[in-house]
């Protein structure tokens, strides 16, 4: 059903960066440290629904100290990128999927579902004012961070009746320093990220909060990322990425679980792999199967994937009493190239995944 477009009130940032300042910031962006000149906001109240859509100068948010998000973590977010093509145009990738996932996250966190049309409109409105912030260097993009939080000042524990949706954007380069060089993974034995029936499949801040201590442990062990298991010792995912296994016979396996984030990068890579003739299986894979598969040569490649990190080959798996070097293959990098070629407009978009902003 077509929904009437929202009217966005636009307030220009009088202190917007000059194009020279902006170009300097765009030269070598790190991940998530620099933000564009504007944000988008849409308010929701139980009485009025979605209203007060606006584009406004980037700046601090004023929140009541009793705002529910600060106490009970009622918050969700998304991650999606805008890519500059050679002709200067700006595209994003499968935003319908992010819109729907935001709705699923909203459902789990008892937040209102933002209509997909409003989600897409928010991306277009931000690019309309901040399109100059989409960088054009290799592997660079504008990372878009839509989020929603409980703004009602109320300490009773129930879904908030005042919620804010917002969109901020940050020019980014490669997520891992060192580009596409293999990453090392720490096996979290002491901590889980999510549990059965919990919020693992939702993109909510609490899942990331739960990952920080194990991620710090990973860093202390010299690893880039942490991998989580479920209570049956099946592989779940990394702190901010999905994981994919390539078997000797060409079969590709990725964990099936109700408590991981359903990655859009993962789904897209598996579709590309299937089109190349690979068997693709979503099924449980235990840590023992992983380690034995690598030891026996049955598993020939393991990689991580996500919007921020794109595709990162896994070079080592480390635990309290072992380090398993991981086999290196070429499929991860081939799929990475195919995916990024589509995203940056260097090859045809046969699947209709691109969306012009």
Instruction: Enumerate binding residues for ligand COI (CB under 6 A).
Output: 79, 240, 306-308
**Residue holding tokens 């045809």?**
348
Task: Work out whether 264 is an interface residue with ligand PLP (CB under 6 A).
Answer: yes
Q: What is the C-alpha to C-alpha distance for residues 87 and 80, in angstroms, rounded to an integer?
A: 21
Q: Which residue do the tokens 């880039």 mark? A: 224
Q: Is the dihedral of CA 197, 201, 204, 208 positive or negative?
A: positive
Residues 311, 304: contact at Cβ < 8 Å? yes
Q: Tell which one of 42, 54, 68, 79 touches ligand PLP (CB under 6 A).
A: 79
User: Between 112 and 146, whose beta carbon lies closer to ligand PLP?
Assistant: 146
Which one of ligand COI, ligand PLP, none is in contact with 326 (Cβ closer than 5 to 8 A by kind)? none
**Comparison of 159 and 206: residue with beta carbon closer to ligand PLP:** 206
CB-CB contact of 347 with 338 (8 Å): yes
- Which of ligand PLP, ligand COI, none has residue 261 at its interface (CB below 5 to 8 Å by kind)? ligand PLP
CA 25, chain centre distance (Å): 23
Q: Categorise residue 86: left if φ over 0, alpha if ψ from -120 to 50, beta otherwise.
A: alpha
- The interface mask with ligand PLP, positions 273-312, x = CB under 6 A, is ---------------------------------xx-----
Of 73, 77, 63, 78, the C-alpha closest to 151 is 63
Taking contact as CB under 6 A, which single stretch among the options 17-25, 33-41, 258-266, 295-303 is the one that binds ligand PLP? 258-266
Please state the closest distance from residue 50 (CB atom) to ligand PLP, in A.
24
Query: Is 166:39 a contact under the CB 8 Å cutoff?
Result: yes
Give me the least distance between CB of 41 and ligand COI, in Å please. Answer: 20
Per 3-state DSSP, the chain is made up of helix, strand and coil in percentages (nearest 5) of 25, 30, 45
Which stretch, 59-67, 112-120, 240-248, 341-349, contacts ligand PLP (CB under 6 A)? Answer: 240-248
Among 140, 188, 225, 265, binds ligand PLP (CB under 6 A): 265
Q: Which is nearer to ligand PLP, 44 or 147 (CB)?
A: 147
The verdict on 205 binding ligand PLP (CB under 6 A) reads no
Q: Does 183 bind ligand PLP (CB under 6 A)?
A: no
Q: Give yes or no for a contact between 146 and 78, defined as CB atoms under 8 angstroms apart.
A: yes
How many of the other CB atoms lie within 10 Å of CB of 357? 21
Q: How far is the CB of 264 from ligand PLP (least distance, A)?
A: 4
Q: Which is nearer to ligand PLP, 51 or 256 (CB)?
A: 256
Residue 293, contacted partner among ligand PLP, ligand COI, none, CB below 5-8 A by kind: none
The item of ligand PLP, ligand COI, none sharing an interface with residue 237, based on CB under 5 to 8 Å by kind, is: ligand PLP
215 φ, ψ (degrees, to nearest 5): -65, -40
- Comparing CB distances to ligand COI, the nearer of 51 and 177 is 177
Residue pointed to by tokens 């209709």: 352
Q: Residue 281 in contact with residue 253, Cβ under 8 Å? A: yes
Could you list the residues that contact ligand PLP (CB under 6 A)? 79, 237, 240-242, 261, 263-266, 306-307
């Amino acid at each position: 059903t077509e929904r009437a477009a929202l009217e966005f009130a636009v307030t220009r940032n009088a202190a917007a960066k000059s194009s020279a300042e902006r170009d300097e910031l765009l030269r070598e962006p790190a991940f998530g440290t620099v933000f564009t000149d504007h944000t988008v906001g849409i308010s929701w109240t139980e009485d009025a629904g979605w209203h007060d859509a606006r584009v406004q100068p980037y700046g601090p948010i004023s929140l009541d100290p009793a705002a529910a998000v600060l106490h009970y973590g009622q918050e969700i977010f998304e991650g999606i990128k805008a890519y500059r093509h050679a002709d200067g145009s700006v595209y994003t990738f499968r935003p319908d999927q992010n819109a729907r996932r935001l709705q699923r996250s909203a459902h789990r966190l008892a937040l209102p579902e933002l209509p997909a049309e409003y989600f897409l409109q928010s991306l277009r409105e931000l690019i309309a004012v901040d399109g100059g912030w989409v960088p054009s260097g290799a592997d660079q993009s504008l990372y878009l961070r839509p989020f929603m939080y409980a703004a009602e000042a109320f300490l009773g524990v129930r879904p908030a009746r005042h919620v804010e949706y917002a969109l901020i954007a940050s020019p980014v380069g490669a997520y891992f320093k060192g580009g596409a060089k293999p990453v090392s993974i720490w096996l979290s034995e002491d901590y889980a990220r999510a549990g059965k029936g919990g919020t693992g499949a939702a993109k909510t801040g609490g899942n990331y909060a739960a990952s920080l201590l194990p991620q710090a442990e990973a860093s202390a062990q010299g690893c880039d990322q942490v991998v989580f298991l479920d209570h049956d010792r099946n592989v779940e995912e990394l702190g901010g990425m999905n994981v994919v296994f390539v078997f000797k016979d060409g079969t590709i396996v990725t964990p099936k679980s109700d408590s991981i984030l359903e990655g859009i990068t993962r789904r897209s890579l598996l579709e590309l792999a299937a089109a190349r003739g690979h068997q693709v299986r979503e099924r449980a894979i235990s840590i023992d199967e992983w380690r034995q598969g690598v030891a026996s040569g049955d598993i020939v490649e393991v990689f991580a994937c996500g919007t921020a990190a794109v595709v990162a080959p896994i070079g080592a798996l480390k635990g309290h009493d072992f380090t398993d070097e991981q086999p290196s293959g070429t499929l991860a990098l081939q799929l990475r190239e195919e995916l990024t070629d589509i995203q940056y407009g260097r090859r045809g978009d046969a699947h209709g995944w691109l969306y012009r902003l």
